[in-house]
Amino acid sequence: MKPLIGITMNLDIQQTRSLNMLDQDYGKAVQQAGGVPIPILGLKESIPDLVKQLDGFVFSGGDDIHPRFYKEKPLPKSGITLSPDGRTLFELALFKAAYRAKKPILAICGGEQLVNVAFNGTLYQDIAKQVPAPIKHSASRTKEKVFHPVGIIDGTLLSRITGASSMRVRSSHHQSVKDLGQGLQISALSLDWVIEALEPVKHNSFLIAVQWHPEKTLNDLHTKKLFKAFIDASKK
């Protein structure tokens, strides 16, 4: 049986309806690695059943977590585009329930930031304003694709999975991890010392959070290894 992989979705709250939306590339990455992608509606009452029925979870990217979730106020002119609190509250609850149940978790971009906040960490609200001498992490014009190298920390789970000391990644974010959450360790850094990947110090289950977008580089060898390791963990 192929493992069932839940994938969180964006939330768009409109005047007469609320919509969940998801980039299909997340599903393609899961399917390519041997899993069955299951988009997750953000309904908090469904969390116990989701954790019971699904074999693994992908926490997808999206807009910015409100700084109140890490005890800060929005910085002036920081370019924040806030995600609805409803999505953040749902995903924090889902993440904590899935992690307690030792379900394999792969968190991507905004998903990495969510994981750090869940472990009581904080975020840089705007890399360009808060990080000294930053490299380019996001597109400045339509259809631009941004890539940059990251260094992988030796001895981490990410290092063992990829078998590499560095890799080239697709990047699209203006926020990143600032103060590391409790019980987490860094597993990758960019050239400007932005934290590009996290994992627990003690691995009770599979949990890797990356700041880049591996679902956008489906033919990359390291991407394939990362998703395969996640899917393999979800089969157990």
Q: Which residues are catalytic?
A: 109, 213, 215
3-state secondary structure of 136: coil
CB 42 within 8 A of CB 86: yes
Q: Give the separation between CA 169 and CA 222, rounded to whole angstroms.
A: 10
Sign of CA dihedral 96, 27, 5, 209: negative
Amino acid (one-letter) located at 208: I
Left, alpha or beta for 144 (phi > 0: left; psi -120 to 50: alpha)? beta
Please compute, for residue 95, the number of CA atoms within 13 A of its CA located in the half-sphere on the CB side: 25
CB 109 within 8 A of CB 195: no
CB 155 within 8 A of CB 166: no
